[in-house]
Chain A
Amino acid sequence: MLTNEPWIGFAIMYLLTTLLISVQIYFGQSNRLFGVSIPTEAEQDRVVRRVRWHYTIFVWVCAVIIAGVCFLLARQGDEELRAVCVIIAMLLQVPIMIFGIQWGRRSASRLKEQKGWHVPAETKRVAMIPIGRPRNAMLSIWWFGVHLAIIAACVVIAIVKWDQIPDTLIAHYDLNGVPDRYASKTVGEVFLTNLVQVIMLGIFVFINLVIGKARNALDPNEAEASLQRNLKFKRVNSIFIWFIALVMIVFMGLIQAMELYGLDESMLNSFGMLIPVIIVVSLLGMMIYLKRKGLDQQRDPASDDERHWRIGGGIYYNPDDPALFVPKRYGLGWTINFARPMSWVLVGCIAGIPVIIAVVSLLFGK
């Protein structure tokens, strides 16, 4: 029996990610148009707004066309085709976004040339020497004890209820939330979820640590004010990371509970849908909060020069900058300096994590 529920979930998810992609260019430094520096007095120009507006329209038109094609195909095809359609529609958002941004970038560069705008690079640098106790913006590592306690609780419950766990476990669900693969009850299979929880927690703690260590982008013209903005910006990000980590770990705990103690399976459907929605909505909420407080105006003079932003402004490569993490050129968040050898190690690790998880589940799973 096919229920409509997962498809509503996908539709909501699709709408939300499209929304996120289409509005992201309105966040971040206002004197940047698709990564191209524009004069402060031109920020609110009609032509500047139009470049952003065109991008938003482009993203939505593409999204509607793809959704329409998918809908028509899915109505005629079988279950498998529907699943393929959903995945393709989701994946297509990436090239659309990249194309849209490059298009916006070209328009921005052309506009800058036409108007003869000249934005001199900042030649001043400011740094703070912390006196006394350093001001740490991030949540301390102890806050993640909450997550660890939840994981521990999951493990303890599994040990206590060991005898009640059925001998055959559900190892995999299909798109409709119907079990399609089973495994026998082994220590590896029962605690696999907890291992993944721990790995995930480790990643979140690491991100929290790294953001805390990232350079404070200080504006030479208003050092103290920009420092305060930086610290608040980092703190909001830290709280967001803490929250998302909590949601993910609780979610995995629930999956484990369904698998082991036969918790109502229909719950999985609703949770599976809810998680991405919670993540996207809280991300949007955070972005709006940061913008309203003016905290998205993070100007980093050291990485300001357009020369260092390669491949359509997406890759930062500056051998003269010792920093590994720098604020992104457009949008919010941080990116890495590819001129540092450490960046390649990091990229390798990130690419390696899914491989590690796959290997771990192969080793312990069966």
Chain B
Amino acid sequence: MSEGRKTAVSPRRWRRVQEARAHWSEAFGLGLSLTGDRARAEDLAQEALLRLARTPREPGGAGSLRGLVLRTVRNLAIDETRRTTPESLDMLNETAGLSQDHRSPDPAEEVCTREEVARVREALGRMSPDWRAMLYLRDGMGLGYAEIASVLGKSRDVVRVTLHRARQRIRSLLGELVKEELE
């Protein structure tokens, strides 16, 4: 214990952490998609950045810093969900007082209101964490399948198949939610 090994964060790592702050909102978004909870999303994003300070090695290339941040957020969230009961995973839904006009045949024409965000969160909450993460990484961040595969530690083929299922699932969930709201 008395050895001179330093565990304090080196300036170089700090620089990297500072660079990683550029991905803060993306990390937060992933955290929010995964947990549905702002405070926890913030915790996850912050923890992910802090971990960079403790990560001993520079990741491969410049682009992989983002991948590393996202991967860490995802891993932390998965760890968290493993020890949480399914009930507590329920997303917060501020769906009270919904606007009435959701009957539009093309959902894309819908104005994205707070209700819509809440509805998407609600729908995400009914899916598995990896599906949520996939949808966020692809549709929220526009990552390619290969990059998603690397963040989630899956193969590209798995991403391809799962993402499609996730999209179909969330589509039907969103449909159900709109129906519930109308009733």
Indicate, yes or no, whether A interacts with B: no
